[in-house]
Amino acid sequence: MIELIPFIAAALIAFSIGSNDTSNAFGISIGSGALTFRKAIYLLGLLVLLGALLQGQKVMKTVGSDLVDLNLQILSLSLLTSALAILLSNWKKLPVSSHQAIIGSLVGSGAAFGAAVDSGTLINIVQSWLISPIGAFFFSILTYKTMEQTLSKLPMFEIERYLRKLLLIAGMIIAYNTGANELATALGPVVYYGLLTPIQAAIVGSFLIWLGAMMLSGRVIETVGKGITSLDAFSGFAAQFGAGVSVLIFTSMGMPVSTTYCIIGGIAGVGVLKGVGTVRTKLLRRILASWVSTPLSAFLVCYLVGKLILI
């Protein structure tokens, strides 16, 4: 019966990813008017499933096997804490990295219960968190500059037609990454503890992401799509494509990186090109503060609760 706790918590995380991370894939497209909300949600569900099935195994192994020597107490405490942190951040309309909440919780729980934590794996993960949004920042700038030299020279009606297609492609890449990286991070511990097979995890998790996106994603879409800087279809594609490329690179290495912070890095890169004055730095500072506070808070909560359980 106690094994239902991590299973329910993992399901809640998948639901929360849908409510929070739909903005990563299609927030810019919706914010710029290139895609309707309903079409975006159904497309998201399909691509998340494909990503989890085709490329989720490496990330699942990193989080579920390589990082912490799991037991049922660690699994239950870390996943419950992560789920609550993600839901709370979404309620505040602030994008949060599910990766950071999960990794911080796993390490905190592992430390509390005396489990082996692989420091090399942890260092690689943290380095990936640092590098991936910076990569997205520069990839978005490169993409924008390339488009200025090519696409912008076409007639206006052709530019609009191409941009709608390009935005859709960029959003599809991010949605695929949500399955291959975000969902894989959430369900990796459950899979490697033996509660679900990878295929079962992909199917159930994808459905829950779709459900969360349908019910709750509108709040964060508003923040990412319109809150950081004013985005048109041209700059929106550059930001999304830059983020998608960065996440795909780290996914292929099995590193659980945040599409949330990569897309924010991409948006910031475009904002700098358009002029620093167009970037809402106050909101960006709040997001950066969350980048630091999320894993630290998750670690501390799980460590303290774990120690209390042992008393």
How many other CB atoms are found less than 10 A from the CB of residue 222? 15
Tokens of 78: 């870390």
pLDDT computed for residue 289 by the predictor:
79
pLDDT computed for residue 283 by the predictor:
66
**10 with 188: CB under 8 angstroms?**
no
d(CA 42, CA 209): 11
d(CA 184, CA 188): 5
Q: Residue 28: which H helix or E strand, with range? A: helix 4-31
pLDDT computed for residue 94 by the predictor:
62
d(CA 157, CA 160): 5
Sign of CA dihedral 241, 174, 30, 9: negative
Tokens of 297: 């808070």
d(CA 196, CA 60): 12
**CA nearest to 208, candidates 232, 186, 235, 192:** 186
pLDDT computed for residue 146 by the predictor:
93
Q: CA of 68: how far to CAs of 119, 178, 186, 229, in Å?
A: 9, 23, 14, 39
Q: What is the mean pLDDT of each run of 10 residues along the chain (311 residues)?
A: 82 82 69 75 92 95 94 93 79 73 95 94 95 95 92 85 85 92 94 92 94 71 51 79 94 91 86 67 72 89 92 71
pLDDT computed for residue 219 by the predictor:
53
Tokens of 294: 């999320």
**CA nearest to 125, candidates 297, 258, 6:** 258
pLDDT computed for residue 87 by the predictor:
74
Coil, helix or strand for 68? strand
pLDDT computed for residue 122 by the predictor:
96
- Alpha carbons within 13 A on the beta-carbon side of 92: 13
Residue with tokens 């692989």: 118
Residue with tokens 């909560």: 301
pLDDT computed for residue 215 by the predictor:
80
pLDDT computed for residue 141 by the predictor:
94
Phi, psi at residue 133, to the nearest 5°? Answer: -70, -30
**46 with 219: CB under 8 angstroms?**
no
Q: CA of 260: how far to CAs of 35, 221, 232, in Å?
A: 19, 11, 19
